[in-house]
Amino acid sequence: MTIDDFAERFQAGLDAMATMPMNQARRHYDELCASFAGPVPATIAVTDEVIDGVGVRRYRPHLGAEGVVLYAHGGGFTIGSVESHQGVAAGLAQALGREVVSLNYRLMPEACYLALLDDVEVVRRRLAPVALVGDSAGARLVLDAARRAADDSPLGLVYPLLGTPSDTSLGPDAPLLSRQDVLAAWSMIAEQARRIRDNLPASRAIECLAVEHDPLTPPLLATLDEWRRCHHQVGVHMAEGMLHGALHARSSLPAMEAAWRAFCRALAAHLD
């Protein structure tokens, strides 16, 4: 598969969602994302449970190390679930050799942004994870949850929405994610996201995975420079030629797979 093949197929799926009722669109998105992932490795046990009212899916490597990693999926705060991002969560458990707990946090617009954060916080308090990982909207959630709780656990952020996006800070439109898409997502959370501490992360150990063609990448790189000046330990792993969302198809996209493996190795080093 080429990145153009992925973009064409994924965009067709997104276009089909445009006329669907929200519940149907969410199911379609779950199926679309999952269609790019292979089966969960046989060496990982998968179980579903509820922790203080929040649904989670646990991925336990049979020979995993101690310590739980908390994972929050992407989907623009309105879609996505443990189903859509099962391939990412299972891959994270396999790469880190640790249990990964994937969150089925509430979604907008039915819930407000602070309610989504509450779901992350409830599970974080119960599990005391050794790291927090999220992608896209999920990356913003785990970052803000860590800020709110002053949690110094290592952070793994996959093409996150950082800072305050604007017409001047965002990069150019890209396939699968436009500047308008980003600004629309930000408008839903802006009022409540601005209440959460400051623009610095709680953790001094952060690993980021970014893609070349993504309006979120320029503000990401600018924010990482700011964090480094404040003496935070920050790594960035760039997938050249890749697009936002390409992590779902990483096994068929060598550049995405290579950046993902580097990201996971660097995150694992903070846990050993």
CATH of residue 223's domain is 3.40.50.1820
State how many domains the chain has.
1
Query: In this structure, are residues 88 and 44 in contact, taking their beta carbons and an 8 Å threshold?
Result: no
Ramachandran class of 136: left when φ > 0, alpha when ψ lies in -120 to 50, beta otherwise = left
Identify the domain containing residue 127 by its residue range: 3-271
Which pLDDT value is given to residue 64?
82
Which pLDDT value is given to residue 197?
63
Report the distance separating Cα 10 and Cα 20, nearest Å: 16
Which pLDDT value is given to residue 198?
64
Report the distance separating Cα 79 and Cα 106, nearest Å: 10
Report the distance separating Cα 164 and Cα 171, nearest Å: 13
Closest by Cα among 37, 18, 17 to 29: 17
Instruction: Name the pTM for this structure.
Output: 0.96
Residue segments in the chain with a per-residue pLDDT below the cut of 50? none
Which pLDDT value is given to residue 203?
85
Which pLDDT value is given to residue 171?
97
